[in-house]
Amino acid sequence: LDDNPSHYKIKLSGTLKSPKITFDPPFLMLMPVPLDVKTEAAVNIIPQYYLRQSQIRVELPELKLEDGDRIYPFSVQFPEGQDIILSSDGTNKKLTSHISFRSSRPVSFLGNVFFIDKEDN
């Protein structure tokens, strides 16, 4: 700049997107089965905008029966792990979960299974 200081103004702008998770399928209906028989379905968890590694945990519903007993008929398995990993291309890899239901008592249920990341989202 030959001893002639000039002032340059640089304007930067950007958008930071909050991490989110979507599901495929977006809702799940497990088929009715006889008592003490397991029914199961796979759900793909699609993380987006995670810039750091995180881990998914699951909150499963407790069912209260007519006689007051409480049961936990749902279980979730992650065959390839629960970690949300950032790929080299900047995207997040999908996770596969297997949600299963088994009950020795007759029950019907409509409710939520919560998938939660390290920041409690």
For the chain, give the mean pLDDT: 89
Identity of the amino acid at 14: G
**pLDDT score of 59:** 95
φ and ψ at residue 66, rounded to 5 degrees = -60, -30
Read off the pLDDT of residues 9-20 as tens digits, 9 standing for 90 and up. 788 888 888 899
Longest dimension (CA), the chain: 89
DSSP secondary structure letters along 71-84: E--EEEE-TT-SEE
Nearest Cα to Cα of residue 44 among 120, 118, 115? 115
The token duo for 51 is: 């810039």
Query: How far is it, in rounded angstroms, from Cα 36 to Cα 71?
Result: 13
